[in-house]
Amino acid sequence: MQEKTVLAGMSAEFNFPSQYAEVLDSKIHYVEQGTGDPILLLHGMPSSCYVWRNLIPFLAPLGRCIAPDLIGMGKSGRPEIAYTLEDHIHYIERFIEVKKLKNVTLVMHGWGSLIGFDYAMRHEANCKGLAFYEAYLRPLQGSDLSLPFQEQLRELEILTNKQDWMANAAFFLDKLLPQSMVHPLSVEEMNHYREPLAKREEAEKGIGKVLMQYREELPRGDGKSKVDRLIAQYSQKLEKSALPKLLLYSVPGFITTIATVMWAKEHLPNLEIGDLGEELHFAQETRPQLMGELISAWLQAVEQKGV
């Protein structure tokens, strides 16, 4: 695999000690650094808390950074559940309760934004601010779908043997993950993302099943799915929410198109916008320093306004 050019702020190393929280009938794996009000980082698919490794050093001086693996992903448990979006929401909400997190700032990416926005709009009094990148801000319509997103939907439609959890997980990680980035991952980085595939039984029970359920629930642009209805519900509340918000976007992007950025500027109060430059879906891997600096500056501004 081609090695990518290492830019400022980038490292493949993951030196944070693993911690676990007993949540419902399983365990949520997470890493933590810093003190103060919690900054909860929610990853998307098909990644893990590893995606935040280069941002945590920028944010930890400003709060208690906590980055969990979604249930069934990374090093979190593999309970016998369907791994629907509702399941992910339920486990993260319970994780917040177990960890007694108050005055939370949510930093969200991709599928993690669905979980975070839903939580924030049902527990707004427990939230301090919302920072999001490649997020589901409104129900996707056909005209809103970027070309890379449309191409990935077509890739997912041709998957055969849907019950082969191991092969499907490998397909997501080996093909679709690199397709979501402008620059290739290094061998070391890919090995971190592929770590959940090391034990076949765990992979089949966990990440493979998680990703195939994600495939089934992924919005197709018709605005009619259960996930679209959830997005519509919290989107309406976001339009009225005074919580400080930071929208980060890249070009050409994947989920967040320029049309969505313009919509957000017109409809979301108390919104700041940050441009991350050229990327598809994983600026954490190619623009961690810029991303970290933008979130850090926004967090400091939010803190000053709250004084």
Query: Which tokens hold the place of 155?
Result: 């890739």
Distance, CA of 51 to CA of 76 (rounded, Å): 15
Q: Is residue 80 part of a domain?
A: yes
Q: Is residue 2 part of a domain?
A: no
Report, as an integer, the average pLDDT of 211-223.
89
Give the range of the structural domain holding residue 274, as residue numbers without chain letter. 19-306
Report, as an integer, the average pLDDT of 26-46.
97
Confidence label for 5 from pLDDT (cuts 50, 70 and 90):
very low
Distance, CA of 9 to CA of 13 (rounded, Å): 12
- Per-residue pLDDT for 1 more than 50? no
- Per-residue pLDDT for 293 more than 50? yes
Q: Is residue 147 part of a domain?
A: yes
Q: What is the pTM of this model?
A: 0.94
pLDDT per position as a tens digit, 160-172: 666 788 888 999 9
Report, as an integer, the average pLDDT of 8-28.
91
Q: Is residue 153 part of a domain?
A: yes
Distance, CA of 95 to CA of 47 (rounded, Å): 19
By DSSP bridging, strand 245-252 and strand 271-279 are: parallel
Q: Is residue 110 part of a domain?
A: yes
Report, as an integer, the average pLDDT of 187-210.
90
Q: Is residue 4 part of a domain?
A: no
- Per-residue pLDDT for 274 more than 80? yes
- Per-residue pLDDT for 2 more than 50? no
pLDDT per position as a tens digit, 100-148: 999 999 999 999 999 999 999 999 999 999 999 999 999 887 777 888 8
Q: How many domains does the chain have?
A: 1
Confidence label for 155 from pLDDT (cuts 50, 70 and 90):
confident
Q: Is residue 12 part of a domain?
A: no
Instruction: Write b or e for each residue in 84-98: b if 16 or more Cβ atoms lie within 10 A of its Cβ, otherwise e.
Output: bbbbbbbbbbbbbee
Strand ranges (E), the chain: 19-23, 26-33, 38-42, 64-68, 104-109, 127-133, 245-252, 271-279
Confidence label for 36 from pLDDT (cuts 50, 70 and 90):
very high
- SS3 category, 72: coil
Domain with residue 69: its CATH number is 3.40.50.1820
Query: Which tokens hold the place of 36?
Result: 């103060």
Burial of 271 from C-beta contacts in 10 A (0-12 / 13-18 / 19+): middle
Q: What is the 3-state secondary structure (H, E, C) of 161-217?
A: CCCCHHHHHHHHHHHHHHHCCCCCCCHHHHHHHHHHHCCHHHHHHCHHHHHHHHHHH
Q: Is residue 8 part of a domain?
A: no
